[in-house]
Each structure stands twice: as structure tokens, then as C-alpha cells.
């Protein structure tokens, strides 16, 4: 039965979509060895993220390595693939000593129009997997995306495109974040304009902040 199913619906690599050979599980041999992000994201982005101090920034994967998987997840609704990426990301984050300091995970919010069209917020899907695997509570109601701005990859001026795009839903609601350590997450970091504006919205909050992204170019 499994041979019949595999013939008509062959199992494919979760990263590159190639048909898996016999004995391969989830990943083909080419993708089995994870290609991490190469470089120092802290020094690469620190000069651009100036709105609010942060402790550290981590990027897990090279975008070129996981771009097909991310596309299937974000634009074709392959939630299974997104959760699988989240589990792999959680295993990576477990290796940092500072992860034990985190009180809350906060995913980057999506505008309600885009949420209605897509059906899910990819950062929240990833965040919920991280929350479960790392045993850290997730908060999704503190920040709001006010503007349905253009996707970053299509924007001529990324910084202007995201100006004032985020806001706190309620200062009173967010008072519980004071004195806490937060992990702000998103799927991809490009120019760092989005995260800079998100931290700008968090200015009233007195919290220690770490930043983590699944992938970067």
C-alpha cells in the first residue's frame, strides 16, 4: 500500500521539494546537512537597529537554504512545513545560555487584512512551536500592525515603507512586560527596518530584549 501511495504521491524533501530516495526521511542527502546563516548578525544589524537597545540577535539559517520551504509555508499554506521549521529552530535556540532567561516570546504581528487573506501569521505559527518546545509562554496581543504595507522584497524604500507600522495595543495591558526578558521573533530579516520599527513601538516598555530570526540573506 505504501509503495502504491509513494508512486502517485512521492515523499518530498521538506527543504528543496526533491523526491526522497529510499531510506531518506524528511530531508534529501543534499539538504541533510543544515546550512546555517554565516556571519555575525549582531554587528551586521546593530548599527541599523537604533530605536531601542537589545541584548543579542541570532539568525538560524541561510535564506538560500530554506527559501523554498519558507515559500511553501507562507504562500502555499503548508503549515506542516512551517511547524517542522519551527521545531528545527527550537533545537537550535536551546543551545544558547540566554534562552533560559526568556520570560515571553513575542512574534511579529501581521496586519488583519493580510491575516484574513493568508489565514495565519507565519511568525505566530513559528512562535507557538518555539513556545511549546522551549516551554516559554507566547504573547500575541501586545503589539498591533497598523498598516498593511508592501512586502519588503517589493519595496523601493524599505525604511519608509514600515514607518510607524506598529503600535502597542494598550499601555496598561503591556505593563506586565516591564522588568521581563522578551524574545522578539520573525521568519526573515532583510534590511532590519521592520524590527527597528517594532522596537520603536516597544519604547514605553522597560524590558530586556533578545531578537531571533529563522533566516537571513
Q: Are 210 and 55 in contact (CB under 8 A)?
A: yes
Q: Is 151 exposed, middle or buried (0-12, 13-18, 19+ CB in 10 A)?
A: exposed
pTM of the model: 0.91
Kindly report, as residue ranges, where domains of CATH 3.40.50 are found in the chain. Answer: 34-216
Confidence category of residue 38, pLDDT binned at 50, 70, 90: confident
Q: Are 99 and 133 in contact (CB under 8 A)?
A: no
Helix 122-134, helix 63-75: angle, nearest 10:
110
pLDDT digits (tens, 9 = 90+) for 40-99: 999 999 989 999 999 999 999 999 999 999 999 999 999 999 999 999 999 999 999 999
Q: Are 122 and 129 in contact (CB under 8 A)?
A: no
Predicted pLDDT of residue 172: 83
Predicted pLDDT of residue 1: 42
Confidence category of residue 22, pLDDT binned at 50, 70, 90: confident
- For 121, the grid coordinates are 501569521
Q: Is 117 helix (H, G, I), strand (E, B) or coil?
A: helix
Task: Tell me which of 19-28, 57-66, 133-142 is least confident.
Answer: 19-28
Helices marked H in the chain — which ranges? 2-8, 29-32, 41-45, 63-75, 79-93, 112-118, 122-134, 158-161, 193-201
Q: Mean pLDDT over residues 114-141, rounded? A: 97
Helix 79-93, helix 122-134: angle, nearest 10:
50
Confidence category of residue 150, pLDDT binned at 50, 70, 90: low
CATH of the structural domain 34-216, one choice from 3.40.50, 1.10.287, 3.30.390, 3.20.20: 3.40.50
| Residue 8 confidence (pLDDT) above 60 | no
Cβ atoms within 10 Å of 98's Cβ, excluding its own: 14
Amino acid at each position: 500500500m505504501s509503495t502504491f501511495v509513494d508512486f502517485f504521491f512521492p515523499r518530498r524533501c521538506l527543504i528543496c521539494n526533491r523526491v526522497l530516495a529510499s531510506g531518506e526521511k524528511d530531508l534529501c542527502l543534499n539538504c541533510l546537512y543544515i546550512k546555517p546563516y554565516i556571519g555575525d548578525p549582531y554587528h551586521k544589524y546593530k548599527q541599523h537597529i537604533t530605536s531601542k537597545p537589545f541584548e543579542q540577535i541570532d539568525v538560524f539559517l541561510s535564506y538560500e537554504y530554506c527559501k523554498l520551504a519558507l515559500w511553501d509555508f507562507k504562500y502555499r499554506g503548508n503549515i506542516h512545513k512551517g511547524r517542522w521549521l519551527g521545531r528545527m529552530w527550537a533545537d537550535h535556540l536551546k543551545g544558547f545560555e540566554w534562552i533560559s532567561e526568556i520570560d515571553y516570546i513575542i512574534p511579529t504581528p501581521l496586519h488583519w487584512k493580510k491575516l484574513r487573506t493568508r489565514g495565519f501569521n507565519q511568525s505566530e505559527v513559528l512562535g507557538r512551536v518555539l513556545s511549546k518546545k522551549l516551554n516559554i509562554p507566547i504573547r500575541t496581543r501586545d503589539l498591533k500592525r497598523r498598516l498593511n504595507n508592501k512586502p519588503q522584497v517589493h519595496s523601493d524604500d524599505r525604511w519608509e515603507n514600515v514607518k510607524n507600522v506598529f503600535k502597542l495595543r494598550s499601555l496598561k495591558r503591556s505593563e506586565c512586560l516591564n522588568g521581563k526578558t522578551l524574545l522578539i521573533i520573525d521568519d526573515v530579516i532583510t534590511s532590519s527596518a521592520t524590527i527597528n520599527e517594532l522596537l520603536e513601538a516597544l519604547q514605553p516598555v522597560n524590558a530586556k530584549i533578545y531578537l531571533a530570526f529563522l533566516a537571513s540573506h
